[in-house]
Structure 1
Amino acid sequence: MAPVHKVALIQLHLKPLSPAENFAKAESFIRNAAQEGCHLAVLPEYHLTSWVPDEPNFRESCADSATYLKRYQELAKELNICIVPGTIIELEGDSLHNIAYFISSSGEIAGRYQKKNLWHPERKHLVSSADQSHEAFDTPLGRVGLLICWDMAFPEAFRELISDGAQIICVPTFWSLRDVSDEGYALNPDGEALFLNSTVVSRAFENTCAIVFVNAGGPPEKGENTSFAGLSQVGVPHIGPLGRMGRSEGMSIVDLDMDVLKIAEDNYKVREDMKREGWHYAYTQIRDASKL
């Protein structure tokens, strides 16, 4: 029998330019997740600062990123829980990098990923990882990959991680229902929700993997009356979404049965086909066969 991993989806409402307050709230949720026996806790993109790059103090609010990363490492070790602390904005000279980490339950950093596919308004503020390859890494939960938000729109990113053996792909996100033009919103006010729900499940099916999607949420007092999309969930093949949330802040705990992924691969044979000599897509052939 494959293991069952208990995963906490922590859908935070983020206070702009308030890393200390946002960290304290995230820590409280993670401690509750650990008490519930969770093996992994995942936070949203930009969870320390929110995304307000035109605010005068935005860069200043990102200055202590290394300190907060170390605190998450200490928290993971203390609670014996793996943590994906959403994304953390890091300063490198004049550049801003949007970084996701996977912190193992030992407190060690198992994986690091810099956002590649930047949403159009981000491109004047952030530096992309450009042509760096997507690489999976080993964790206490198995082989894991990281993607961020708009990466969801690019199936090639998932395929490259799958070719490197990823079974779980964590996707911290900051996605609203109004991340489109007025014309796009008028076509369907729930269009972005449709995008997210469809894509999470599709990527799980077509890659025989689990997609741990965690988005920012709206303030609890507003309930579903918010433009924050929320909808954090774990997508798995055969079953679909697990633990799907609404739009407001909260936590959902999901039992991720890794046997489901084995059954899906036995049925669809996606990974088996990708290993074949006659596989049609060249980038999967550059991988070291020993990793597959």
Structure 2
Amino acid sequence: MSTLRMAAVAEEFGRDLDEDFRTVERLIAAARADGIRLLALPEACLGGYLLSLDGDSGPDAGPPPLAVDGPQIRRLAALAGEMVVVAGYCEADGEARYNSVVCVSGDGVLGNHRKVHQPLREDASYSCGDRFRAFDTPVGRVGMMICYDKAFPESARALALDGAQIGVCVSAWPGSRTNAAADLAEDRWKRRFDLFDRARALENQIVWLSANQSGTFGSLRFVGSAKVVDPGGDVLADTGVTAGMAVAELDVAEALRTARRSMGHLRDRRPEAYTYPVGAASA
């Protein structure tokens, strides 16, 4: 049996890229000292997220655009070294900007994902991605998504069908914009965040890491709640609504075999029964 020690982070990040890298360096150092081999950092941890989701950013220029093959991502890879690190950033591709997440090790970029699903007015700041693909890493086959992507079962299912053993979802998921709970732990958007994490792990019978921003940024108050979920949908570690690192260790291959031994959700699918008109249920 070969166990993997992994962690998902809840932490606060902002526009100051140098400060963000100092935070990333601190988190990677702490994870390395704890024997962690896979570390998930939040959405937009390199340069911060949007100040609001209503499309009005005022004088804010937005997150700094970074090239996936540029010096900042190479710096992240150098910090990762022997670890596998997942981190969110604003990706520049010509004039287009994407809300992206990259997976790196000391060997360089292992995978990159552009957020497909855009909530509210996020499309005023970013172009959208158009695919979900799993990829091989030193810690297993990984699939990545960003925040609102996990509200759509097809996202995680596409990754699981592509062989992902571990799903990593990085987020800048805020509390409710209306009827906000005084206690963030009781917030209804936090409850949805947690439900999606457990459901996506269980329905695909994969290991699930969920990283999220914490604290506040602009008009947004983030719910934290970074966690590691096993293929049965059970939460192995959770930071709660504060900053922290959710750490868990398990034999991923054995956990998947155990979860799928009797009731294999991917094996028992009946795709011929799932046909539906393109564009059905459009609002």
- TM-score of the aligned structures, taking structure 2 as reference length: 0.85
Q: Return the structure number with greater strand share.
A: 2
2:98/2:128 contact within 8 Å kept: yes
Q: Report SS of the residue matched to 1:28.
A: helix
Q: Does 1:243 align with 2:237?
A: yes
1:135 aligns to what?
133
Letter in 2 for 1:125: S
Report the secondary structure of 1:46's partner residue.
Answer: coil
Could you tell me whether the CA contact under 8 Å between 1:149 and 1:172 is conserved in 2?
A: yes
2:250 maps to what in 1?
Answer: 256
Please report how far the alpha carbon of residue 280 of structure 1 lies from its aligned counterpart in structure 2 after TM superposition: 3.6
1:10 corresponds in structure 2 to 9
Aligned-residue offset at 1:74: 1.2
Among 15, 20, 28, which residue is 1:30 paired with? 28
Mapped contact 2:12–2:215 kept (Cα < 8 A):
yes
Change (3 A) 1:239 1:152: closer
- Counterpart of 2:224 in structure 1: which amino acid? G
- CA distance 1:237–1:251, change in 2 (3 Å): same
Structure 1 unmatched ranges of 5 or more: 220-225, 284-292
**What SS is found at the alignment partner of 2:79?**
helix
Deviation track 1:109-136 (CA, whole Å, cap 9, x = no partner) reads 221111000112201111001xx33111
User: What is the CA–CA distance in structure 2 between the aligned matches of 1:120 and 1:8, rounded to whole Å?
Assistant: 30
Map of 1:1-292 to 2, 5 A cutoff?
Answer: 1=1, 3-15=2-14, 17-52=15-50, 54=57, 56-59=59-62, 61-62=64-65, 66-77=70-81, 80-85=82-87, 87-104=88-105, 106-129=106-129, 132-178=130-176, 180=177, 182=178, 190-218=187-215, 227-238=221-232, 240-258=234-252, 259-274=254-269, 279-281=272-274
Work out whether residues 147 and 172 of structure 1, in 8 Å CA contact, stay in contact via their aligned partners in 2: yes
Helix, strand or coil for the counterpart of 1:267?
coil
Give the CA RMSD over aligned residues.
2.5
Give the C-alpha shift of residue 203 in structure 1. 1.1
* 2:54 equivalent in structure 1: none
Counterpart contact for 1:75–1:107, Cα < 8 Å: no
Please, which moves more after superposition, 111-120 or 258-267?
258-267
Distance 1:63 1:196 in 2: 28
Tell me if the contact between 1:273 and 1:279 (Cα under 8 Å) persists in the aligned partners. Answer: no
Aligned mates of 2:97, 2:194 — CA distance in 1? 30
TM-score, length-scaled by structure 1: 0.82
| Structure 2 unmatched ranges of 5 or more | 52-56, 277-283
Give the counterpart letter for 1:69 in structure 2: I
Would you say the 8 A contact 1:136–1:161 is kept in 2?
yes
Q: Percent identity?
A: 28
Q: CA deviation at 1:164?
A: 0.7
- Bigger fraction of residues in helix: 1
